Structure formats: C-alpha cells, structure tokens
Structure 1
Amino acid sequence: MPQITANGIPIHYEEHGDPSHPPMLLIMGFGAQLTLWPIELVDALVSRGFRVIRYDNRDVGLSHKFDGVKAPGIIKMTILTKLGITPKVPYTLSDMADDGAGLLDALGIEKAHIVGASMGGMIAQHFAVKHAAKTLSLTSVFSSTGHAKLPPAKKEAMKVLITRPASMEEEALVDHGVKLSRTIGSPGYPAEEEKLRARVRQSVQRSVYPEGATRHLSAIVADGDRRSMIKNITVPTLVLHGEDDPLVPVEGGRDTAAHIPGAAIKTYPGWGHDLPMELVDTIADDISAHAQSA
C-alpha cells in the first residue's frame, strides 16, 4: 500500500489519473478516512483531466496514529476558548495542513489544486494561507470559518458524531456508521440501505480508530475563528455547500465565501453533509471548472 513520510510522519495516500495532468489534492474531514471521497467522484475528476491524490489525515485510516497522546476534554476546551485562551492540543489544523504540503513535497509536486471537505476545508484554508506558493486554487466543501456566532450543528447531528459506538464488534460499528450517515446525510438524496451498509462495512474493515477523532476535535475547537486569517487567501476560491446540511449549516459556507477575497459560492438544496452519488457529476463539474479557470 502506498505510504510515504510527509512532515515527519507516515501518511497513506492514493494517486489516480495521468501523472502529467494538473495535480489535485483532496483533504477529508473529521475522523474520516480517504475513502469518504467516493471513488466515483475521484474517477469523475480524473476523467476531467486531473491527477487526483487523496490521503488519510494523521490519526485516521492507515496514516500515523498518535497513540497515548491525550487531548483536553471538550468542556475544558470550550470554556478556555470562550475566555479567549487557546487550549494546548496534541496538534493543530495548521500542522495537518503541513502534512498535505509535505505529501506534495514527497511526491515531487510543486503546486496543486487544493480541495477540502468539512474539517478538510478548514485544513485547506490553512494550506492556502501558509502554503500559498503550493496552491493553484482552493475549493472548500461544506466547511466553515469557525466563527462562534454562526448557527451550530443540529443537536442530533452533533450527538451522533461525537458518540462512540456501542461496542467495537463489527456489526455495532456498521450500525453506528449507518446511523451517522443517515443523520448527517442529504435529505434530498438518501442512500440506498444495502449500498450504504456495504460502504460503511468496507470502511470499518479498513480501519477503526476512535481515539484519533478525539484529537481531531480538539484541533478544530482550538483553531477558533479563521475569518481574519482567510482574508489573506489570494488564490481563486470556490465554496460548495448544501442548503440542508445539519452538521455544518450553509451559513458556514456563506461566511467562508464572504471573508475570502473574490470567492465564489454555489449552494444546492437537498444536499447535506455527505457526497451522494446523485451529485457526483455536479460536484466534479463545479470543482473541475473552477480549477481549470484558475
């Protein structure tokens, strides 16, 4: 399996498409493996002329795990951030952006189109500021600025996201994954039960590591409000967001676009916090048209 040392740690990645084509780096979100980028979307982007690279963030999937490194509790972090104190966390979203930049360096890629989803969009925002010279364009998918006054996630969405499975038995893990997908997924594009369970089972069999999600969450909370930072993004930027996202409400996408100079935004009714098959071609068209114009 392809694994490479990037930013000093082992990172698992996959490449698709012609190596001579413009590179596109896909950054996935909170606790999510690279497989949450559907292969159908990857193939659609490849067919539109890109060399597509997706990878497991640190602490998830087959990349490096920070075993035994404790993150502060969510209540403590929330209190500290409200007091204007940045909590000490195992690593930051900026560190995770360095992982992506390190992966490009290890692959000998000077510049790439950067696409991030959810927490991956937050990481991509850091990437576009900190590694502007490596960034051809930015696409932020159902992400946010982290501004405290934005509408929060729906209670049921946040509850299922941070609740651990009933057990580590495979069927319990699959049931939990299906419930999560149903709760945060697209109301306009509900997944077929059999196909959804098969995808979740494949993910469970690939890797399960709840401890990593705890450290991911601490990195998100500690990051705070990025609005002043993203005003420094100078690359062409596209924001994509579902109008029915229960986890990161569409206002988060609108706020992102409002604070990145020249950013464009597209929102879609019925789209939640997932990448449904019915929208694969639409999303691929949006991302590829934006990257090509950049």
Structure 2
Amino acid sequence: MDTQTGTVRAQAHPRVQTAQANGIEIAYEIFGDPSARPLVLVMGAGAQMLLWHEELCQALVDRGFFVVRFDNRDAGLSTHLHDEVPDVRAAAAGDLSSAPYTLEDMANDTAGLLEALGLDSAHVLGVSLGAMVAQTLAVRHSARVRSLTSIMSAPAVTVDWEAVEARPPATSREEYVEQVLQMFRLIGSPGYRADEARLADVAGRSYDRAHDPAGGVRQLLAIAASGDRTEQLRSIRVPTLVVHGEADPVVPVAAGRATAEAIADAELLVLPGMGHSLPRELWPTIVDAVVRTADRAADARAQ
C-alpha cells in the first residue's frame, strides 16, 4: 500500500487488456464473438468492472452481444489521477474547483475506448454514474451509440458531501469488504436476498486490484461539476431504455422517470423491490429489455 495516498497498488489480471484512450490508459475485458453486435458496459462511482458479474456478461453474450466491460478512470486498473486531491469540505460548501474532470471527459474516455477497439459504434449500458457517462456519450458522440440503456440514474444528482467526508477509508482488506457489505445492506434491493458471498468476493478482488478511495471521490466530483443535464438529454435520439428500482434509496425512482421524460421515446421499466443494485433474479428481465432496445435500434437503422 502507498501510505501517503492510501492506495493499494494495482495487480494485473490475465484477462485484462489495456488501451490508450483520451490521453489515459483504460483497462478492459471482452466476452463473446467480436463479430456479434457490440455492447459496452459502464460501471458506477467507486466501483470496478468486476461488479459486472461474469455470469451477467455471459447472459448478454448468449443473447447475441459482444460484451466489453472496463474500468473507468480512477477505478481498477485504468489510470488514476493521484496528483489531483479532492477537497470534500470545499465541495460541501459549493466549491467544486477541485474536480479534475467531468462526465464529458469520462464519456470521451469511452468514445476513445471504442475507437481503440475498432468499433465505429456500440450499444451502451450504464448503471448509476456509468449511466450518466453513457447518457453523455449519447449526447456528445451520438454516432457512436446504437442504443442506450440507463439504469438507476438521473439527469442531476445532489451528492451528500457530509456523508462522503464522514466515511473513513478502510485500512485493511477485511475492513473494506465489511464496508461494502454494510453499504449494500443499506442501498441494495429490499425485495431480493443479497448474494453477500458474491459481494464479498468482488469487494476483496477489487481491493486487491487497486483500492483508491480518493478516486471514487473524484468521480463524485465529476457528477457534481457536470450539473443538471436535462436539456442535454433532450437531444438524444437513439433508442433508449431507462430502468429504475422502485425502492432505490440512493437515486429515487422519480429521477428515473425524469430521465425517461427527458429522452424522446424512451422506454421506462420500473422494477418493484429493486434498490440501488442489480439482483440476480432480475437479470433475465433486464437482459430481455436490453435486447428489445437493441432490436429497436437495428430496426431503425434498417429503415
């Protein structure tokens, strides 16, 4: 561990590949046949691509997708901006000047990854912060997005900076795993039993790969610095699916409705019992909806 930054040094994984994109290095993994229709998965704040469960990736492959999952900047094995120190107290007072980047920069990262992979365009699925990145990609790089699936997201989010400041960084692998489990007990899906063994495994592997608490805060600053994006969302014209948990305590379901209302002809799928997590029991429903949205895009392109 780097005792000055609190960061566990990154460990490589044999499946992981890297690409230069938008001036940084992006770590990614691929699943399925590269000739199938491409689907890029964008993860949420403070989380690594490992949270996209391999079985979910395979379920999407089985439905005809070539799946790409990757670590956002400041997460996992992608570039971390360690020299940029987030000022949480200033952010709580409304000063966001310590934000080193915005959602637009993260969307540009994703566009750069597509280019590095030789993909002119792809279907894009994001959760939470990842959905905000995916939305911004569809605004800024519309030609690169075939369809958009936005899960548990919003046109704008107010970050609880006091809660961020009050949460001490974990000092060990065991403490971090317990923090993650406690978090999902609070924000997870009350209608479904959490798979805590899987969560603990992913949390432990994430800690081993590259644990960087400050990176997650920089990602939250990107959300705050990007402001309300409602008017930008009105420019999206690709087939769009908005999925939201009826019981989401982090991003209330009203935010999902607002997202769908802002995007022309978006399909809204509200799932009872779902919170700010993706329960395994809902994977078939979500996969079906993603396929349906991709099919809409294919039909539109054929006309």
Pairwise same-fold verdict (TM > 0.5): yes
Q: 1:244·1:269 contact (CA, 8 Å) conserved in 2? A: yes
Please list the CA deviations of residues 234-277 of structure 1 after superposition, one character each: whole Å capped at 9, or x if unmatched.
11111000000111111110000011111110001100111111
2:241 match: 238
Q: Distance in 1 between matches of 2:98 and 2:216?
A: 16
Q: 1:123 aligns with which of 133, 137, 140?
A: 133
Q: Distance in 2 between matches of 1:126 and 1:276?
A: 26
1:272 match: 275
Q: 2:125·2:150 contact (CA, 8 Å) conserved in 1? A: yes
- What is the CA-CA distance between 1:31 and the residue it aligns to? 0.8
Q: Quote the sequence identity (%).
A: 45
- What is the CA-CA distance between 1:160 and the residue it aligns to? 7.6
Name stretches of at least 5 consecutive residues in structure 1 with no aligned partner: none
Please list the CA deviations of residues 123-148 of structure 1 after superposition, one character each: whole Å capped at 9, or x if unmatched.
11110010001110111000001066
Q: Distance in 2 between matches of 1:41 and 1:160?
A: 30
- What letter is aligned with 1:171? E
Shift in CA distance, 195/235, structure 1 to aligned 2, threshold 3 Å: closer
1:224 match: 227
1:202 match: 205
Q: Does 1:2 align with 2:17?
A: yes
Q: 1:170 aligns with which of 153, 168, 173?
A: 173
1:139 match: 149
- What letter is aligned with 1:141? I
Where 2:249 maps in the other structure, the secondary structure is: coil
Q: 2:39·2:123 contact (CA, 8 Å) conserved in 1? A: yes
Where 2:118 maps in the other structure, the secondary structure is: coil
Q: Distance in 1 between matches of 2:145 and 2:30?
A: 18
Q: Distance in 1 between matches of 2:100 and 2:106?
A: 11
2:75 match: 60
- What letter is aligned with 2:41? L
Shift in CA distance, 162/23, structure 1 to aligned 2, threshold 3 Å: farther
- What is the CA-CA distance between 1:205 and the residue it aligns to? 2.3
Shift in CA distance, 90/44, structure 1 to aligned 2, threshold 3 Å: same
- What is the CA-CA distance between 1:70 and the residue it aligns to? 2.0
Where 2:199 maps in the other structure, the secondary structure is: helix
Q: Distance in 1 between matches of 2:165 and 2:48?
A: 15
Q: 1:19 aligns with which of 34, 45, 57?
A: 34
- What letter is aligned with 1:108? G
- What letter is aligned with 1:103? L
Name stretches of at least 5 consecutive residues in structure 2 with no aligned partner: 1-15, 298-303
Q: Does 1:28 align with 2:49?
A: no
Shift in CA distance, 194/54, structure 1 to aligned 2, threshold 3 Å: closer
TM-score w.r.t. the length of structure 2 is: 0.88
TM-score w.r.t. the length of structure 1 is: 0.90
Q: 1:160·1:180 contact (CA, 8 Å) conserved in 2? A: no
Q: 2:85·2:98 contact (CA, 8 Å) conserved in 1? A: no
Please list the CA deviations of residues 70-122 of structure 1 after superposition, one character each: whole Å capped at 9, or x if unmatched.
2333x5335447xxxx7462011100000000000001000100111000111
Q: 1:72·1:218 contact (CA, 8 Å) conserved in 2? A: no
2:64 match: 49
2:7 match: none
- What letter is aligned with 2:168? R
- What letter is aligned with 1:105? E
The size of the alignment, in residue pairs, is: 282
Q: 1:16·1:46 contact (CA, 8 Å) conserved in 2? A: yes
- What letter is aligned with 1:5? Q
State the superposition RMSD in angstroms.
2.0
- What letter is aligned with 1:22? R
- What is the CA-CA distance between 1:199 and the residue it aligns to? 3.1
Q: Distance in 2 between matches of 1:60 and 1:268?
A: 28
- What letter is aligned with 2:167? T
Where 2:204 maps in the other structure, the secondary structure is: helix
Where 2:284 maps in the other structure, the secondary structure is: helix
2:85 match: 70
Q: 1:215 aligns with which of 200, 214, 218?
A: 218
Q: Distance in 2 between matches of 1:274 and 1:57?
A: 18
Where 1:280 maps in the other structure, the secondary structure is: helix
Shift in CA distance, 80/173, structure 1 to aligned 2, threshold 3 Å: closer
- What is the CA-CA distance between 1:68 and the residue it aligns to? 1.7
